[in-house]
Amino acid sequence: MKNEVKEILFSEAISEALVQSMEIDSNVFIMGAGVDDAKGLFGTTLSAYEQFGGNRVFDIPLSENTITGVAVGSSLSGTRPVLVHARNDFLMLTMDQIVNNAAKWRYMSGGRTSCPMTIRAIIGRGWGQAAQHSQSFHSMFAQVPGLKVVMPSNPENVKGLLLSSIFDDSPVIFLEHRWLYGHKGNVPANPFYTQLGKASKLKKGTDLTIVAFSLMATEALKAAEIVNKEKINVEVIDLQTIQPWDQEMVLESVAKTRRLLVLDQGSLSFGVNAEILAKVSESLWNELDAPIKRLALPDIPTPCSPALEKIFYFGQDEIVSSIKELFNFDKNSGKISSRSKKNSITFSKEEKPMFQGPF
């Protein structure tokens, strides 16, 4: 039967993946605070609740560590729970269950048991939601052996990645950026599976590689269109999965373009961005035409003030400025000829600007 393709929202693609996974396997169920609510967490769980009822889509008291333990125990008994935590900030309360239990079972049992559970959590910039509700801990979870970390960027890959995550035998941290729920895209109606650990090349280019994921993949495409008018041809790679990440595609692209910019909506220091830059520098140092560069958030708590938010977060304008800097770099002198005005903003007398990483 022909697989119809239709234009739907990011949130609707999540809803489709959940319903279809539950149709495929009766062991799949959804649990979490508010999953049976009329709003259905941006509408993503409402269709599943209406179709399967409270036995397979149910609210559970908000005790993060406890409900995660319930999901772990259930997965070890043969089910495939989808646990919804409305905010990834409060996954910190679940770390013992995720890190010491879910991530370790397959290894500690010599492969005899596995923990096939998916934890959905929302990340990203809020509306003045400040320090405790706007964080993204993807880098932290990516450091835990035994966990897979997935960060979709568009309606098509959120459906394929979620289906693959639910039917993967490893515990998966599935992080959804709240600004993506209203994005539209063409998505196959039937179930399909996007391979975990495989990146997607959103745009081919010859002059610069941008590696991004989640919302930053869409911002990278916008910036690429802008600089294309100045004859800078950018290749955009969407990692999709950051643990494991597609080293082969990234290295192959950078070897071709000889320039790299990594975009990360997490904190600057000790992040996924640093891991990618380290791998590229280890493998391709002598082939680069400019310093490898990263854009990430400052190493400070997220501000609440709208005025400070505008300074704290970066988008296509800062990405365009960073691209231009890489092409203004003089390899002979080792200096950049100009810097964008916005990137000269500082947060204190001692600190240098933290919108982008050191060269």
**pTM higher than the cut 0.75:** yes
Cβ neighbors of 259 (< 8 A, separation 6 or more) are: 207, 208, 209, 288, 289, 290, 292, 326, 327
Task: Check if the beta carbon of residue 235 is closer than 8 Å to that of residue 257.
Answer: yes
pLDDT band at 346 (very low <50, low <70, confident <90, very high): very low
Could you list the active site residues? 133
| Dist CA 318 CA 323 (whole Å) | 9
**pLDDT mean over 142-149:** 97
Task: Check if the beta carbon of residue 295 is closer than 8 Å to that of residue 319.
Answer: yes
pLDDT score, position 333: 57
- Domain 200-344, CATH 3.40.50.920 — does that match? yes
**pLDDT mean over 247-259:** 97
Asked whether this chain's domains 5-188 and 200-344 adopt the same fold, the reply is yes
Which residue has better confidence, 134 or 236?
Answer: 236
pLDDT band at 352 (very low <50, low <70, confident <90, very high): very low
Strand ranges, E, within the chain: 5-9, 28-32, 57-58, 80-85, 118-123, 148-150, 172-177, 184-188, 200-203, 208-212, 234-238, 241-243, 260-267, 293-297, 329-330, 335-336
pLDDT score, position 134: 78
pLDDT band at 303 (very low <50, low <70, confident <90, very high): confident
Residue 213: pLDDT over 90: yes
Task: Check if the beta carbon of residue 162 is closer than 8 Å to that of residue 149.
Answer: no
| Dist CA 338 CA 207 (whole Å) | 19
| Dist CA 84 CA 67 (whole Å) | 10
β-strand pairing of 200-203 with 234-238: antiparallel
pLDDT score, position 309: 84
pLDDT score, position 173: 98
Lowest mean pLDDT among 8-12, 90-94, 170-174: 90-94
pLDDT score, position 149: 98
DSSP letter assigned to residue 177:
E
Specify which of 8-12, 286-290, 343-347 reaches the highest per-range mean pLDDT: 8-12
Share of residues in the chain with pLDDT > 70 (%): 90
Lowest mean pLDDT among 5-14, 114-123, 242-251, 337-346: 337-346
**pLDDT mean over 264-284:** 95
What are the structure tokens assigned to 324, written together?
A: 């231009």
Q: Looking at domain 5-188, which of 3.30.70.100, 3.30.70.980, 3.40.50.970, 2.40.128.20 is its CATH number?
A: 3.40.50.970
Residue 343: pLDDT over 50: no
pLDDT score, position 131: 79
- Over residues 149-182, the pLDDT tens digits come to 999 999 999 999 999 999 999 999 999 999 999 9
pLDDT band at 338 (very low <50, low <70, confident <90, very high): very low
**pLDDT mean over 6-33:** 97
pLDDT score, position 284: 96
pLDDT band at 199 (very low <50, low <70, confident <90, very high): very high
Task: Check if the beta carbon of residue 320 is closer than 8 Å to that of residue 227.
Answer: yes
For the chain, give every domain's residue range. Answer: 5-188, 200-344
Q: What is the CA 215 to chain-centroid distance, rounded? A: 8
